[in-house]
Amino acid sequence: MALLPILKYPNERLHIVAQPVKEIDERIKKLTQDMAETMYEARGIGLAATQVDVHERVVVIDLSEERNDLLVLINPVITHSEGTTTYEEGCLSIPSIYDKVQRAERVRIEYQDINGANQTLDADGLLAICIQHEIDHLNGKLFIEYLSPMKQNRIKTKMKKREREEAKQQ
């Protein structure tokens, strides 16, 4: 397994729409393992392949305290949603930025598991939020795009400044 570099906002590659996975082969299985290791190392609860510059529809999520309940979603699609809730979100691609986002309270998704079997999952609470957040990544959308243009500009300025400072240190 290997740690993968996580793209940071405002990197334009975060806006690339991911393509469906055609075949769940050893490459995809290794990708999911590497993504899980990267997510755990970064202390995240979800990671989309887009965030590691792989533009295929793959997501890993683990909400467990023990970090031992990995959920792998390949080609996930939200087929039903209901209710609304507001939750403060953060993102590994936009470190140390958090803000409230309104999303569906409950979702039903269809996806393939790591063995290629078709699955259906009903989720609510934090899992529903996380699934929507990660699917947004696959669609080239970041959580800050739900915020006001003024907040988006402030965050973009802050992230560009951080990027310049990090470049100077290298």
The DSSP code for 51 is G
Tell me: the pLDDT tens digits for 9-49? 999 999 999 999 999 999 999 999 999 999 999 999 999 99
Within a domain: 7: no
Question: Is residue 137 a known part of a binding site?
Answer: yes
- Was 130 annotated as part of a binding site? no
Q: Is 55 annotated as a binding residue?
A: no
pTM over 0.85: yes
Q: Please report whether residue 5 resides in a domain.
A: no
Picking from 102, 107, 118, 111, the residue whose alpha carbon sits closest to that of residue 48 is 111
**Residue range 113-126, pLDDT digits in tens:** 999 999 999 999 99
How many domains does the structure of the chain reveal?
1
- On whether the CB atoms of residues 90 and 98 are closer than 8 A, the answer is yes
pLDDT at 1 > cutoff 90: no
Is 114 among the domain residues?
Answer: yes
Structure tokens at 165: 């400072």
Bond into 76 cis (ω within 30): no
Q: Give the C-alpha separation, 14 to 12, whole Å.
A: 5
The CA distance from 116 to 103, in Å, is: 28
Question: Is 140 a member of any domain?
Answer: yes
**Domain with 79 in it:** 12-169
In a domain, 150, yes or no: yes
Which of 136, 165, 159 lies closest to 7 in space, CA to CA? 159
Q: Give the CATH number for residue 45.
A: 3.90.45.10
> Is there a domain that residue 3 lies in?
no
**Residue 4: inside a domain:** no
Residue 85 lies in a domain: yes
Helix (H) or strand (E) holding 88: strand 71-91
Rounded to whole angstroms, how far apart are CA atoms 124 and 131? Answer: 10
Instruction: Give the pLDDT band (50/70/90) at residue 56.
Output: very high
Question: What are the tokens at 19?
Answer: 């393509």
Of 88, 134, 163, 166, catalytic: 134
- Examine the residue annotation and report whether 134 is marked as an active-site residue of this protein: yes
